[in-house]
Amino acid sequence: MKVTLVIPLYNEETILRETIGAVSSYMEAAFPGQYEVIFVDDGSTDRSKAILDELCTGPVRYLSYQPNRGKGCAVRQGMLAGEGDYIIFTDCDLAYGLDVVAEMVNLFDEHPEFDAVVGSRVKHPEGYAGYSFARKIVSKTYLSLLRFWGGLSLSDSQTGLKGFRRAAAKKIFSLCEVDRFAFDYEAIKIGQKCGFVFGELPVKIVNHRPSTIRFFRDTRRMLRDVGRAKRRIKKLKID
């Protein structure tokens, strides 16, 4: 049983060395000899690529491209490159910690019916602990829009932690096109249209960083991307 951990990043030179060290140590301890880590540099303009080139070795490797295209593109590239039986992605700041990786793998093992598992702050009693009032309102408003307008059935689509069995990952992400804001929504909806079963893992943020979301500008972009994804998925032919 091999586990792939995909980590998308953009201009993360300030935390990247620490993240590579933490992830390498954790994965070797949790899945000795049965893992790979794929960092995906989404067109960084700082020293991120140089750091990756210096520190990535053995089962820890990286992909890099120019120009910046968006987190959705980076995740897609990593998921399609992964060779593990389980392919999981999380953010470079390790917002949900690393123990959630083993928790997700255990959930897959306990539930063979799950093709994918999505982290959910809504399901965790402390899922929004540490959030500012404004950030909490923005997050919950967006999730409500996705449920009522986007037809999302899961409790939370926006956590940067999701995992897939290999067959599901390859199928879903080969059909994805959204590069930026609504890529999570697109992947979930395509997966459900393919007939894959999604489970949810309660999570909470343990490493907080200031949000870079600009509410009015980015909400418009999110809704635009969701609308486009809805229309495309409706027409999508699944083999």
Q: Any idea what the CATH number is for the domain that residue 156 is in? A: 3.90.550.10
Q: How far apart are CA 212 and CA 228, in angstroms?
A: 23
Residue type for 204, please? K
Q: Are 146 and 185 in contact (CB under 8 A)?
A: yes
Residue type for 193, please? K
- CA-nearest of 56, 93, 61 to 77 is 61
Q: Are 160 and 94 in contact (CB under 8 A)?
A: no
If one counts the domains in the chain, the total is 1
User: Is residue 179 classed as helix, strand or coil in its secondary structure?
Assistant: coil
Q: How far apart are CA 183 and CA 237, in angstroms?
A: 19
| Tens of each residue's pLDDT in the chain, 239 residues | 899 999 999 999 999 999 999 999 999 999 999 999 999 999 999 999 999 999 999 999 999 999 999 999 999 999 999 999 999 999 999 999 999 999 999 999 999 999 999 999 888 877 667 666 566 666 666 666 766 666 677 878 778 999 999 999 999 999 999 998 789 989 999 999 999 999 999 999 988 666 555 555 666 777 788 888 888 888 888 87
pTM to 2 decimal places? 0.90
Q: Find the domain containing 146 and state its range.
A: 3-235
- Give, in order, the Cα–Cα distances in Å from 38 to each of 77, 81, 105: 10, 8, 17
